Amino acid sequence: MLIINILLAAIPAVYLIVRFYRNDRQKPEPKSLILKTFVFGFFSVLPAALIEILISEFAPEQGTLIFRLFEAFIVAGCVEEGIKLLTVRLSVWNKAAFDEITDGIVYTVTASLGFAFFENVFYSSDSPAVLLVRGITAVPLHAIASGIMGYWIGVSRVTGEKKVLKGYLTAVMIHGLYDLFLFEGGWVSFLVIPLLVLFGLKLRSLIRRSLSEDRYAGRS
Report domain extents, the chain: 2-17+30-219
Residue 188 above 90 pLDDT? yes
The predicted structure's pLDDT at residue 137? 85
pTM of the model: 0.91
Residue 54 above 60 pLDDT? yes
Classify residue 25 by burial, with Cβ atoms within 10 Å: 0-12, 13-18, 19+: exposed
What value does the mean pLDDT of the chain take?
88
Q: Which residues contact 62 (CB under 8 A, 6 or more apart)?
A: none
167 in Cβ contact with 149 (< 8 Å): yes
